[in-house]
């Protein structure tokens, strides 16, 4: 899903059709109205760690070198919740 924001406060939602046109993708309007020059955004869903995840069993034999940083370990992840709509910010007059 793509989100469109017009300079006059209009919003719209687009659904990609799967067809690629070079570096662009084709999309169908699912709600709202779009005009030439509108800003189009894609929201990427961020996966968040699951709270209370069960830790993996430690191996019988201790590894020679344990990870030095906590960032070296990948946490268990769960699908994120839907993010709230972003309100458009008016552009300054030039």
* Residue-level pLDDT at 32: 92
pLDDT for residue 30 is more than 90? yes
Average pLDDT over residues 74-86: 60
% of the chain surpassing 90 pLDDT: 9
pTM exceeding 0.75: no
Give tens-digit pLDDT for 5-29. 998 889 999 898 888 888 888 899 9
Q: For the range 43-52, what are the long-range contacts, defined as Cβ-Cβ under 8 Å and sequence gap of 24 or more?
A: 43/1, 43/3, 43/83, 45/79, 45/80, 45/83, 46/80, 47/77, 47/78, 47/79, 47/80, 48/77, 48/78, 48/80, 49/75, 49/76, 49/77, 49/78, 50/75, 50/76, 50/77, 50/78
């Amino acid at each position: 899903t793509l989100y469109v924001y017009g300079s006059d406060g209009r919003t719209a939602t687009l659904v990609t059709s799967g067809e690629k046109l070079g570096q662009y993708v084709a999309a169908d309007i699912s709600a709202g109205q779009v005009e030439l020059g509108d800003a189009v955004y894609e929201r990427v869903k961020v996966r968040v760690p699951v709270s209370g995840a069960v830790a993996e069993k430690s191996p019988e034999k201790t590894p020679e070198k344990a990870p030095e940083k906590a960032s070296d370990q990948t946490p268990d992840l769960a699908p994120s919740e839907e993010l709230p709509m972003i309100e458009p910010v008016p552009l300054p007059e030039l």
